[in-house]
Amino acid sequence: MASRGSFQLNVILILAFAATAFSALSPYYYEHVCPEALPTIKRVVEAAVYNERRMGASLLRLHFHDCFVNGCDASLLLDSTSTIDSEKNSRANQNSVRGFEVIDQIKIEVDKICGRPVFSCADILAVAARDSVVALGGPSWMVPLGRRDSTTASRTQADRDIPSPLMDLPALIEIFKRQGLDERDLVALSGGHTLGFAQCFTFKDRIYSETNIDDDFAKERRKSCPRNGGDTNLAPLDPSPTLFNTAYFNNLVEEEGLLHSDQALFNGGSTDELVKAYSENARAFSADFAKSMVKMGNIKVLTGEEGQIRLNCRKVIN
Percent of the chain with pLDDT over 90: 92
Q: What is the pLDDT of residue 24?
A: 84
Q: What is the pLDDT of residues 162-171, one digit of tens each?
A: 999 999 999 9
Across the chain, mean pLDDT equals 94
CA–CA gap between residue 232 and residue 198 (Å, rounded): 9
* Residue 163 is assigned to a ligand binding site: yes
Q: What is the pLDDT of residues 232-243, one digit of tens each?
A: 999 999 999 999
Instruction: Reply yes or no on whether 63 is catalytic.
Output: no
Q: Please say whether the beta carbons of 148 and 309 come within 8 A.
A: yes
Distance in angstroms between the alpha carbons of the first and the last residue of the chain = 50
Tell whether 69 is in a known binding site.
Answer: yes
pTM for the model stands at 0.91
What φ, ψ does residue 260 adopt, rounded to 5°? -55, -40
Confidence of residue 318 (pLDDT cuts 50, 70, 90): confident
Check whether 74 has a pLDDT greater than 90: yes
Mean pLDDT computed over 194-200: 97
Beta strands in the chain (DSSP E): 197-199, 234-236
Given a cut of 60, whether residue 28 has pLDDT beyond it is yes
What confidence score (pLDDT) does residue 36 get?
Answer: 97
Mean of the pLDDT values across residues 96-104?
Answer: 97
pLDDT in tens, 256-286: 999 999 999 999 999 999 999 999 999 999 9
| Per-residue pLDDT at 84 | 95
Could you give the CA distance from residue 3 to residue 63 in angstroms, rounded to a whole number? 29
- For 38, 42, 260, 289, 314, the CA distances from 132, given in Å and listed in that order, are 13, 8, 26, 14, 21
71 labeled binding residue: yes
255: three-class secondary structure by DSSP: coil
Query: 75 a known binding residue?
Result: yes
Q: Is the pLDDT of residue 293 over 60?
A: yes
More confident of the two residues 4 and 82: 82
Is 21's pLDDT higher than 70?
A: no
